[in-house]
A and B are shown apart, each in its own frame.
Chain A
Amino acid sequence: AQKITQTQPGMFVQEKEAVTLDCTYDTSDQSYGLFWYKQPSSGEMIFLIYQGSYDEQNATEGRYSLNFQKARKSANLVISASQLGDSAMYFCAMREGIQGAQKLVFGQGTRLTINP
């Protein structure tokens, strides 16, 4: 079963608009972490934001915020005031458990295109 689901293969947004990238997850663990990464065409993976399962407040990092709805098992990324440089692939990922070799499981990604 897919652990991380990103239902939007592609998104097109006008510059300066806000955009929401969807992510739902599936886990039976009580302790887990959710991540968003940006991958430009160069291929590098850039960490954007993290939300822990016990964090009561939604995470924010600059123009990025994470809309965490635990009961719905969703962790949507919100980018405010989008810029041309935000055009990239965006991956949602989950880390399960608190002990042992934790690893990240990635969703299929959303390709975001910002139009001028």
Chain B
Amino acid sequence: SAVISQKPSRDICQRGTSLTIQCQVDSQVTMMFWYRQQPGQSLTLIATANQGSEATYESGFVIDKFPISRPNLTFSTLTVSNMSPEDSSIYLCSVEQPRTLKGLGTGIVYTFGSGTRLTVV
């Protein structure tokens, strides 16, 4: 399965600043997904990033707050801009990839990066 390197693994940031999170995949993938997981909550999709086009944002998320870059098929960044304590969350990137599933042949599953634990003070 694909290996995703996500950096930084954690950070503590001052309010009003911005943090850029990077995800590097060891194989080419068409779509990359960015999720937010607020403390004690489930994962919520922020946006879907295709190479060569603007990211598609989910309801409640805007490009000015969460700009995304996707310069090639193996790399993407998510920036959390003008941070406030409410942005304290785990941010995860994810990719689709084919995988051999027992008894089912090949299916599409989602692999995640190790996450970025962000604390805004």
User: Among A35, A44, A45, A57, which residue has the most Cβ atoms of chain B within 10 A?
Assistant: A45
- Closest-CB distance, A83 to chain B (whole angstroms): 20
Q: Among A13-21, A22-30, A100-108, which stretch is in contact with chain B?
A: A100-108
- Closest-CB distance, B102 to chain A (whole angstroms): 6
Q: A59-B102, A101-B56, A109-B42 are in contact. Are A43 and B48 (CB under 8 A)?
A: no
Q: A45–B92 contact, CB under 8 A?
A: yes
- Tell me the total A-B contact number using a CB cutoff of 8 A: 67
Q: A91–B104 contact, CB under 8 A?
A: no
Within 8 Å by CB of B104, from A35, A45, A55, A101, lies: A55
CB within 8 Å of A: which B102-121 residues: 102-104, 107-115, 117
Nearest A residue to B4 by beta-carbon distance?
A: A44
Q: B102–A60 contact, CB under 8 A?
A: yes
Nearest A residue to B30 by beta-carbon distance?
A: A101
- Closest-CB distance, A114 to chain B (whole angstroms): 20
Answer yes or no: B29 CB below 8 A from chain A CBs: no
Answer yes or no: B23 CB below 8 A from chain A CBs: no
Give chain A's interface residue range (CB within 8 Å of chain B): 20 to 34
Q: A33–B103 contact, CB under 8 A?
A: no
Q: A55-B104, A108-B42 are in contact. Are A50 and B115 (CB under 8 A)?
A: no
Q: A103–B48 contact, CB under 8 A?
A: yes
CB within 8 Å of B: which A79-116 residues: 91, 95, 101-109
Answer yes or no: B90 CB below 8 A from chain A CBs: yes
List residues of chain A with CB within 8 A of the CB of B75: none
Q: A44–B102 contact, CB under 8 A?
A: no
Within 8 Å by CB of A59, from B44, B99, B103, lies: B103
Answer yes or no: B31 CB below 8 A from chain A CBs: yes
Q: A50-B104, A61-B102, A101-B31 are in contact. Are A44 and B45 (CB under 8 A)?
A: no
**Could you list 6 further interchain pairs (A-B, Cβ under 8 angstroms) beyond the known A42-B114, A44-B115, A61-B102?**
A37-B112, A43-B115, A52-B104, A52-B107, A59-B101, A108-B42
The 7 closest A-B pairs by CB, nearest first: A45-B112, A43-B115, A106-B42, A106-B43, A44-B114, A108-B42, A101-B48
Binding site for B on A (CB under 8 A): 33, 35, 37, 42-45, 47, 50, 52, 55, 57, 59-61, 91, 95, 101-109
